[in-house]
Copies of this chain bind each other. A is one copy, B any other.
Amino acid sequence: MAGMRKLDVAVLGATGAVGQRFVELLENHPWFRVTEVVGSSRSAGRTYAEAASWVLDGGPPASVSGLTVKPLDGELSAPLVFSALPKEAAEEREVRLAKAGHVVCTNAAVNRMVEDVPLLLPEVNAEHVRMVETQRRVRGWTSGALVANANCTVMPVVMALAPLRRFGISKIHTVSAQAVSGAGYPGVASLDIIDNIIPYVSGDEGKMETEALKMLGRVRDDRFERLDAITSATCTRVPVVDGHLVSISVTLDERPELDEILAAWRAFRGPEPVPGLPSAPAQPVQYIAQVDRPQTRRDRMAGGGMATTVGRLRPCPILGYKFAALAHNTIRGAAGCSILNAELLAVQGYITGFQPRPGTPAQL
């Protein structure tokens, strides 16, 4: 692969909160480089630096600041497209781009539960990626593909439970404490959340059932077979910037010892070639033994924001086991996951003409 150049990528919805996270995380990415940014009609035609009201730390990377924002309905050159579009814009646009030959990795919710769209969390269900073949065959796509990542609250639950599948998961009860960045920008009004907890996050509770069970399930006969478990989710909004913390109670039919659960988390790495991907955290699930952890602010950046931290494992008198799980909602729960998904697609050969090897920098 000597001499291989970085792959051009486009970011849809690049000026929004998650779009900005894509741009930030792709700065200095070893395989990908942002060459196109796409925004709403309000942003199109302006430079990215002008159009994006940057909400992350510092300012936008110099390499992207000068790009002119393209309109949503134009053509794109980049073979790989990351989408941070809102629901309405995403639905039809993403399919159209995949049909036109682009590999689309989307953070949008709208296509997640479509029958042939993998809902990918590589350490958990890398094998779901082969549904792309079905997708291409059924839809008549050639080089295009559409792959989604999960809701940002579902994500830490699925990551923490994946290593426990062997114990037979039958009931999953969750109560989340979700950061304001999960609602995008401007999102939650400060008048609504300073010194306040809101016991409701529109739309998120239903996703725990649909998305979590699809992700924890398997692919059989070209179909997703959901995990057979009962879920019950409560979602709340809390005054923190980033990081979704979830209190989880779970029934494990095999009734493992607590030590067996800890060992399962400790050993968990995900299947090959996931651990070697550039954005994969060294340890996807990190148990913190301190009694008062994980804490949102102090642990959200574990593994560069790509790891899920868990803690407080103890018996639940009602459901069997309980613990806390935390993930960075706009990194691992959104843009970072989409990027890792794209890395997996690349090494598996799903991006035409671009197949780096894990552990290898693209640009030599």
Contact = CB atoms under 8 A, between A and B. Distances in A.
Contacts of A232: 249, 316-319, 322
Given A175-B175, A318-B232, A319-B232, A295 B196 contact: yes
A329 to B, nearest CB: 12
* Copies per complex of this chain: 4
B191 A186 contact: yes
A57 B238 contact: no
A292 B202 CA distance: 9
Interface string A189-219: 1111111111110000000010000000000
Contact of A312 (B194, B199, B245, B302): B199
Interface residues of A, number: 62
Among the interface residues A188, A190, A234, A324, which one has the most CB atoms of the partner chain B within 10 A? Answer: A190
B177 A197 contact: yes
Interface of A: 17, 55-59, 171, 173, 175, 177, 180-181, 185-200, 209, 230-232, 234, 236, 238-241, 243, 245, 247, 249, 288, 291-299, 301-302, 311-312, 316-319, 322, 324
12 contacts: A57-B298, A58-B298, A173-B173, A173-B318, A180-B194, A186-B186, A190-B194, A196-B296, A197-B238, A200-B292, A236-B247, A241-B297
4 tightest Cβ-Cβ pairs between the two chains A and B: A186-B189, A196-B297, A175-B175, A200-B292
